[in-house]
Structures are given as structure tokens and as C-alpha cells.
Amino acid sequence: MLKSIFKTNVRALSQASVMRSAYSLPKPVAPVSTEVPDLKLLKFDSNGQKDLYAIAKINNIPFLVTKGDKIVLPYKIKNHDVGEKLNLNNVVTIGSRNFTYNKQDGIPASAFQLTATLTEITKEPKYYVYKKKPRCRRLKTVEVEPFQTHLTIDEFKLL
Amino acid sequence: MPVKAIPKVSIPRNGVSSFVRPCYKVSLQYCNWGGSSQGVRDFLTHPNKLVDRFAQNNKDVMFEILSKGGHPTFTFHYANGQKQAVDVRNLKVGDVARKLQEYMHRSGNEPFKFNHKVLSNNESVRGIWSPFHVAKNDRHRI
């Protein structure tokens, strides 16, 4: 099917959309949650898996990441040390420039590998919060210096 | 005509494929006499051998203990050339240990407030949207 698309004299720019519409003709059957999805088109389209992104969820918050990105979390990760490799297994979307595979209840972990290195646990710059109590004219000054965690995407590939 | 290579500058990204801890040396400076060094002295001579344990658990960090007059300070040396001196006067043993752990986890870079989620050096993976790249029958019609 792919070969026949490339043979036809379509403009390079609009090729992607043609490919996309060509692929959508056989309606994909909803895969069983444990079944590994067929991500062949993503592999073809992603420049040797370089231009590939994933939407991974950490504490149910989505992060769109590519390889080498840095996730900045506004809290301190507990029970993990700096330098540890974390496996991000809750991935909702894997996509390239032209194709997206999306599964809201999580793509099975056997389809991809997405790991992050815990590179840093620091704090944000210090600032001051002034607190006012009723019937007291004085303001309390509180120092605030929230924690910050940096995760670097170490590996992302389709298996 | 010779083919010219596209020059690309490599970006240092610690943590991609390998990770080197940025904090490589800690010098713990205390005074043998002063009262503000009491917590640090307790920390160094703790029956549970806290310093030994720290050194055992972090073998990639060099620990240096200096006895010097004045208030106690911990100096952290980072791989980016930064040196950070942290004041640990009048702290209890637990707080001293916590301070030590906290600054060893840092990279020595300036702290910053980040109101987004992901910091990226890569080009936009999904590309810039353009109406002309949509197939003709998929375009919005007025």
C-alpha cells in the first residue's frame, strides 16, 4: 500500500496527508488493552525514531516529551535519589509529524521504552509571602522556597 | 560539486544515556570551640557514623573536613565551576544532614522559576501548522 502511494506523483508536501487518509481507509479495530499496537507507520515516519514524541503522564498530568527534553516538576520526588532512572510507563500518545497513536487508558508498555533520569532536585528562587490575620495590623512575612525536580528524558524508542 | 555537511554543535545533556553527578566535592568546615558549630560537631562525631554513611552512599563525591575558626560552612563544588558556600551555624544534627543532602542533589546552576512543563532543545516535533499542507477535501470550507 505504501509503495503505491509513493509511486503516484503527489507533491512532497501533501504526501503526508495522502498517506494518512490512505491508512485510515481500513478502519483500525479497537485493540485489546494488552495487545501490542501496530506502530509501523510511526517507525517509518519518524526519521529513524528521532522525530518522535510521547505524551507521558506523571501524577495524571500530561507531559509532551521528546528524547533529551527536561521535565521540570514543581515538587520534590520522594524515595528516589539523583541519578536514578525512572520508567515512565503511563503513556497516552505516541506520535510523529504526520501520525499519532492515541489511547486514553494507556498504551501497553511492551510497545515502547521511555525512561527518564532524575538529574536534579533543587529549589525555586526564594520569595516572600505576607500573611494578614484579622484584627491584627501586623503582616507576617513568610519565606517560600518551593522544591523543584528535573527529569531528563534518557531513552525513547518504539520496540 | 562536493557535498557539504551540515554543521551541528553538540549540546551537553547530562542524564541522556549517561549521568555524572554535578556535585563532586564537599568541604565541611567547622570550629572546634565555637557554639554555632555544635550541630556540625555532633554530626561529625555522631555514634551512628553519619559522615561515614554519607561518604559510603555517595562514592562519587569527595568529602573534605576542615577545622577552622569562625562559623561553620559547607562548601559545595559543582562540575560547572560553581562553588556554593552554605551557612550551617546553629543547626541541629538532623538539619545539618538535610542541608548536606539537599545541596548534593543540586547541579550548581542558578535556581529559576519555570511556569511551563518541559524544557526542550529539540525542534518542534509536530511542526508548524499550515493550511496548505492539509489535503484539499479535509480543508475547512466557508
pLDDT of amino acid A9: 41
Could you tell me the residue ranges of all domains in chain B?
23-104
> In this predicted model, which residue has the larger pLDDT, A15 or B44?
B44
DSSP A70: E
**Contact A124/B122, CB-based, under 8 Å?**
no
Q: What are the residues of chain A with a beta carbon less than 8 Å away from any beta carbon of chain B? A: 13-14, 16-18, 20-21, 51-53, 61, 63-72, 74, 81-83, 95-97, 117, 119-125, 148, 150, 152-155
| A135 φψ region: left (φ > 0), alpha (ψ -120 to 50), beta (else) | left
Partner A contacted by B140 (CB < 8 A): no
Q: Is B71 exposed, middle or buried (0-12, 13-18, 19+ CB in 10 A)?
A: middle
> Is B23-104 a CATH 3.40.30.10 domain?
yes
Separation CA A135–CA B83 (nearest Å): 46
Which pLDDT does position A24 carry in this prediction?
54
Tell me, what's the pLDDT at A95? 93
Query: Of A13, A66, A154, which is closest to B122 when you measure between CB atoms?
Result: A66
B134 min Cα distance to partner chain A (Å): 6
Rg (CA), chain B: 25
Contacts of A114 in chain B (CB under 8 A): none
- Quick check: helix, strand or coil at residue A22? helix
**What DSSP letter does each residue of B32-81 carry, written as one string?**
SS-GGGHHHHHHHT-TT-HHHHHHHH-TTSEEEEEE-SSS-EEEEEETTS
> What string of pLDDT tens digits covers the 159 residues of chain A?
444 444 444 444 445 555 655 555 555 555 445 677 888 999 998 888 889 999 999 999 999 999 999 999 999 999 999 999 999 999 999 999 889 999 999 999 999 999 999 999 999 999 999 999 999 999 999 999 999 999 999 999 998
For residue A40 the three cell numbers come to 509501523
Angle of helix B50-57 relative to helix B93-104, nearest 10 degrees, comes to: 10
Residue B107 DSSP label: -
The domain spans of chain A are 1-30, 32-119+150-158
Residue B42 has pLDDT above 80, yes or no: yes
Using the Cβ of B67 and the Cβ atoms of chain A, whether some distance falls under 8 Å is answered with no
For all residues of chain B together, what is the average pLDDT?
93
Determine whether the interchain pair A120/B107 forms a contact, defined as Cβ–Cβ distance below 8 Å. yes
Position B68 scores a pLDDT of 94
Own/partner long-range contacts of B73-77 (Cβ < 8 Å, ≥24 apart): B73/B29, B74/B26, B74/B27, B74/B28, B74/B29, B74/B99, B74/B100, B74/B103, B75/B26, B75/B27, B75/B29, B76/B23, B76/B25, B76/B26, B76/B103, B76/B104, B76/B106, B76/B108, B77/B23, B77/B24, B77/B25, B77/B26, B77/B27
Q: Are A62 and A103 in contact (CB under 8 A)?
A: no
pLDDT at B85: 97
Please give the C-alpha separations between residue B86 and each of A102, A138, B67, B114, in angstroms, as whole numbers. 48, 31, 16, 24
**Residues of B whose CB is below 8 A from A52:** 125
B120 at interface of A, judged by CB pairs closer than 8 A = yes
- φ, ψ of residue B53 in degrees (nearest 5): -65, -40
Cβ distance of A16 and B19 shorter than 8 Å? no
For residue A70, list chain B residues with Cβ-Cβ distance below 8 A. Answer: 118-120
> CA torsion sign, B16 to B17 to B19 to B20?
negative
CA distances from B9 to A49, B6, B22, B108, B121 (A): 20, 10, 22, 23, 12
Q: Residue B135: its chain A contacts at CB < 8 A?
A: 14, 17-18, 20-21
What pLDDT does A15 receive? 54
Q: Is the dihedral of CA A38, A43, A45, A49 positive or negative?
A: positive
Interface contact B129, partner A, CB < 8 A = no
